[in-house]
Amino acid sequence: MQENRSNKITNINDYRKQRARLSDERTTDRKTIGRKITDNKTTERKASERKASERKTSDRKQPSPTSSKIRKTKQVDFMLMLMILSLVLFGLVMIFSASYYQAIDRYADMFYFLKRQGMWVFLGIFTMIVIMNINYKLWGKVSMIAYVGSIGLLGTVLVMGFVAKGAARWFKVVGGASIQPSEFTKIAVILFLANLLCKKDGEKMTGTDIIKYILYLILPVLLVMIENISTSLVILVIGVTMLFIKIMDVKVLYITSAICVIGYMALYYAVPMMNLTEYVPEKYKSRIHRIEVWLDPWADPQGAGFQTIQSLYAVGSGGVWGLGLGESRQKLGYIPEAHNDIIFSIICEELGLVGATVLIFVFLMLIWKGIKISTRAPNMYSSLVAIGITTMVAVQVIINIAVITNTIPVTGMPLPFISYGGSSLLTLLISMGILLNISKYAKE
């Protein structure tokens, strides 16, 4: 009995020891499993952190598909910059060549006009560099101020402006220089109308919207037209082009083309028969007479037709290769103020058909660059501003060359970047600064 009791106690002790051992093993297993789970979580966390870090590094090295479409290297279009500077420097050369005879005759200083234009070139290039580093979006915010300010200046110059050649277009400033508000109105109108059209971005313009746009366009056109028909025409064409680009309706193109053709035919056929000089105020009779002279310059060869005839002589006498730089004969008192709007005729005479063709080709390349920047602009506002600036340059080139070749009546329109004149050059270089800034953000 006692032995059996002893055996039972031994078995109970063994059983307890076995249970304790099993409990310890389970505890150990739990700790091991917990440690493994913890290690796995730590490993997974480190792996995810490593992947996130690699992803950030990859994102920094390779932009996302959306951001890669827009070039954000802050580099302007080098070819456009080169063409602008080339035209400006070529303009200085031709201004000196065309003006030194008149400068000696009037001021006893052959560099008189060159020095004055050189100051405007320096100011213009400096301003262009500053503006091309200002984000184009800023101009949308101040476009209303620019528009209202330009309207105010146009009204003021009609009352208080300096009268020259029978027209009040200029303000006298320090140093005897003058500025022409209508030139700066071009930029103000472009910025304001682009901002106005962008308020309907993604929406179809209604008839009311178009009427409102036309009213904003017509106001500066009418104010400029009082003293300067050619500049008012430029502003009008700019506005119509921007509207066409916005709505992309061929009806606008057809209507505009029809108006231009009808207007041209009316000038060519109707004006001579109607004898309008009897019905217009004395101040504007000279404009009607210009149209009559355009139809037949040799009817008044020593009067209103003199400049047209002499410029045609210059174009024709240049031949294919030209007489040589500085060798023009027509600038020796035959063409009045040859360094101004009529300078293209001197280019044809001195550099010939080849030189004139190269110059026109450079203008075409600049216009093509402007259109390219417009099509690749990051948004509708910048696209409209770019096409407005490009249209401004294109229309001025067309009008100037058309006047020289007697394709249209004589009107005062400087050849962009080439003709003598501070307001025109400064306006062009300011607009080029805006266009260069837009080129920084152009889509690839």
Complete DSSP assignment for 166-204: TEEEEEE-GGG-EE-HHHHHHHHHHHHHHHHHHTTTTSP
- What is the arithmetic mean of pLDDT over 207-218? 89
pLDDT at 66 over 70: no
With cut-offs at 50, 70 and 90, classify the pLDDT of residue 59.
very low
Mean pLDDT for all residues in the chain? 82
Bigger pLDDT: 296 vs 186: 186
Distance of CA 347 to the CA centre of its chain: 26
Helix (H) or strand (E) holding 280: none
Q: Which amino acid makes up residue 263? A: G
pLDDT at 181: 87
Of the listed ranges 112-121, 135-144, 163-172, 362-371, the least confidently predicted one is 163-172
Compute how many other C-beta atoms are within 10 angstroms of the C-beta atom of residue 72: 11
Q: Are 308 and 297 in contact (CB under 8 A)?
A: yes
Question: CA–CA separation, 393 vs 27, rounded Å?
Answer: 88
Of the listed ranges 189-198, 205-214, 249-258, 335-344, the least confidently predicted one is 249-258
Query: Burial of 298 by CB count in 10 Å (0-12 exposed, 13-18 middle, 19+ buried)?
Result: exposed
Give how far Cα 253 sits from Cα of 124, 240, 245, 247, 260, Å.
Answer: 34, 9, 10, 11, 11
pLDDT at 249: 67
pLDDT at 442 over 60: yes
With cut-offs at 50, 70 and 90, classify the pLDDT of residue 10.
low
Question: CA–CA separation, 65 vs 161, rounded Å?
Answer: 55
pLDDT at 100 over 50: yes
By residue count, the chain amounts to 444
Compute how many other C-beta atoms are within 10 angstroms of the C-beta atom of residue 129: 14
pLDDT at 192 over 90: yes
- Through-space distance between the first and last CA atoms of the chain, rounded to whole angstroms: 103
pLDDT at 34: 56
pTM, 2 dp: 0.80
pLDDT at 31 over 80: no
pLDDT at 43: 63
pLDDT at 53: 61
pLDDT at 3 over 80: no
Residue 437, C-beta contacts closer than 8 angstroms, at least 6 positions apart = 76, 131, 132, 133, 134, 135, 136
In 371-430, DSSP assigns E strands to none
CA angle 7, 9, 14 (to 5 degrees): 95
Share of the chain above pLDDT 70, in %: 74
Give how far Cα 303 sits from Cα of 293, 311, 352, 421, Å.
Answer: 9, 14, 27, 25
Q: Which amino acid makes up residue 264? A: Y
With cut-offs at 50, 70 and 90, classify the pLDDT of residue 238.
very high
With cut-offs at 50, 70 and 90, classify the pLDDT of residue 304.
confident
pLDDT at 63: 41
Q: Which of 425, 433, 422 is nearest to 385 (CA)?
A: 433
Q: Indicate the SS3 state at residue 443.
A: strand
Question: CA–CA separation, 347 vs 94, rounded Å?
Answer: 7
pLDDT at 20 over 80: no
Residue 297, C-beta contacts closer than 8 angstroms, at least 6 positions apart = 305, 308, 309, 312, 406
Bigger pLDDT: 295 vs 89: 89
CA atoms within 13 A of residue 61's CA, in its CB half-sphere = 6
With cut-offs at 50, 70 and 90, classify the pLDDT of residue 299.
confident
Compute how many other C-beta atoms are within 10 angstroms of the C-beta atom of residue 393: 21
pLDDT at 141 over 80: yes
pLDDT at 58: 47
Q: Which of 206, 199, 210, 204 is nearest to 144 (CA)?
A: 199
Long-range contacts at 368-373 (CB < 8 A, ≥ 24 apart): 369/77, 369/79, 369/80, 369/83, 370/80, 370/435, 373/77, 373/80, 373/435, 373/438, 373/439, 373/442
Bigger pLDDT: 327 vs 13: 327
With cut-offs at 50, 70 and 90, classify the pLDDT of residue 178.
confident
Bigger pLDDT: 298 vs 172: 298
Question: CA–CA separation, 101 vs 237, rounded Å?
Answer: 37
Share of the chain above pLDDT 90, in %: 45
